[in-house]
Amino acid sequence: MPLMDVSDLKMFYHTSAGYVRAVDGLTFKVDSGKGLGIVGESGCGKTSIAITLMKILPRNARIFGGKIIFNGEDLVPMKESEIRKNIRWSGISLIFQGAMNALNPVFRIDDQIAEAIKLHEPGVSQKEAKERIGKLFELVGIDPSRASNYPHEFSGGMKQRACIAMALACNPKMLISDEPSTALDVIIAAQILKLMRELKERLNLAMIVISHDLSIVTETCEEAAIVYAGKVAEFGDIYGIFKEPLHPYTQGLLSAFPSIKAQKTRLISIPGSPPDLTRPPPGCRFHPRCKYAMEICRKQVPALIETEQNHFAACHLVNPVSGGEPSNG
């Protein structure tokens, strides 16, 4: 049984212009010890997915349907107090985008982490918390003697490491990280990605990595979900997706990316820009930018279909192999 099983999840923001359909029928699974990468452009609802899974929604956002089964329990109908007690931090924790600004500048780093520990595990004393922080710092590769520093005394890479340590403070089963390496330099980013890979294996964590950068996802994850305008366009094993991308959007993303090692070819861009999510296009949401768009694409929303073992795509061009069952998309 997967650790997290999300099906047909919908989360909309209520704005003066109408509902923004940021997460619209999202379906995926994550296992312990495995990484899932969520890839998409800005404005396609990536960060909205993260805050929906944690249920830390702003006041104008609401979950309109679907299930988030985590460890056998559905998080959607669960009470806020229960989620805070049993799920957040001890079950799922989140590393926010821009770790440099996620730490409070006027508190010492160990005090900030201790606060989280004591809030979620009231029995822990200050001394035990500090000991645990020392171990966490060793785990993420910072000298434990620096624990009582202030955030401004840390470099960008160290702050990101401290944020990872903080996320791991209550032994979560799952770690969600939103753009873990943007705003970091190449070498520092490579160090952080390596750390995340090691932690995933050592602690048997389920990991969700949210990024606009396909290469970051391939460095850290085994599976990927390509998201376009709040919906999953393609999902599956990362080797399958790279070997044979099925959705035109995935194909476009792959050819828009320069690789340092591959043959030098002209980059191929995807014309147009992502749609306005208050009024998403009818049918397949990608059809206005798709070079293969057919009549049916304008009318009917394609279902997410399994074409081969652990490779799903939501596109009218893709025919299911015999025996493939359409899943709810």
Partner 1 sequence: MDELLRVEKLRKYFPVNLGFFRSLTSKNEIFVKAVDNVSFDIKKKEIFGLAGESGSGKTTTGRLVLRLIEPTGGKAIFEGKNIFDQQVDPRTLRRQMQMIFQDPYESLNPRFTVYDIISEPLKIHHVFHSEKQIEDKVIERLEEVKMTPPQQFLLRYPHELSGGQRQRVALARSLILDPEFVVADEPVSMLDVSIRAEVLNLMFDLIQKHNVSFLYITHDLALARHICDRIGIMYLGKIVEMSVAEKIVYEPLHPYTKALIIAVPIPDPNAKRSEAVIKGEIPSPINPPSGCRFHTRCPSYIGDICRTKEPELVDVGGEHYVACHLYGK
Q: Which residues form the interface with partner 1 (CB under 8 A)?
A: 41-42, 155-157, 185-191, 193-194, 212-216, 218-219, 238-239, 242, 252-262, 264, 266-271, 273-274
**Shortest distance, CB of residue 269 to partner 1, whole angstroms?**
4
The answer to whether the CB of 145 falls within 8 A of the CB of 112 is no
The DSSP element (H or E) to which 38 belongs, if any, is: strand 35-39
Whichever of 163 and 214 has its CB closer to partner 1, that residue is 214
Whichever of 1 and 187 has its CB closer to partner 1, that residue is 187
Beta strand segments in 169-221, E: 174-178, 206-211
Whichever of 14 and 279 has its CB closer to partner 1, that residue is 279
Could you give the CA distance from residue 11 to residue 50 in angstroms, rounded to a whole number?
Answer: 11
CA angle 122, 127, 132 (to 5 degrees): 80
**Shortest distance, CB of residue 287 to partner 1, whole angstroms?**
15
Could you give the CA distance from residue 99 to residue 76 in angstroms, rounded to a whole number?
Answer: 28
Whichever of 66 and 240 has its CB closer to partner 1, that residue is 240
Of 158, 157, 109, which is closest to residue 134 (Cα–Cα)?
Answer: 109
Of 22, 10, 36, which is closest to residue 228 (Cα–Cα)?
Answer: 22
Whichever of 225 and 238 has its CB closer to partner 1, that residue is 238
What residues are paired with 231 via a beta bridge? 228
**Shortest distance, CB of residue 292 to partner 1, whole angstroms?**
16
**Shortest distance, CB of residue 191 to partner 1, whole angstroms?**
5
**Shortest distance, CB of residue 224 to partner 1, whole angstroms?**
9
The answer to whether the CB of 38 falls within 8 A of the CB of 298 is no
Could you give the CA distance from residue 96 to residue 93 in angstroms, rounded to a whole number?
Answer: 10
**Shortest distance, CB of residue 180 to partner 1, whole angstroms?**
11
Whichever of 106 and 267 has its CB closer to partner 1, that residue is 267
Of 74, 71, 58, which is closest to residue 7 (Cα–Cα)?
Answer: 74
Instruction: Determine how many CB atoms are found less than 10 A away from the CB of residue 125.
Output: 10
Whichever of 1 and 260 has its CB closer to partner 1, that residue is 260
**Shortest distance, CB of residue 197 to partner 1, whole angstroms?**
8
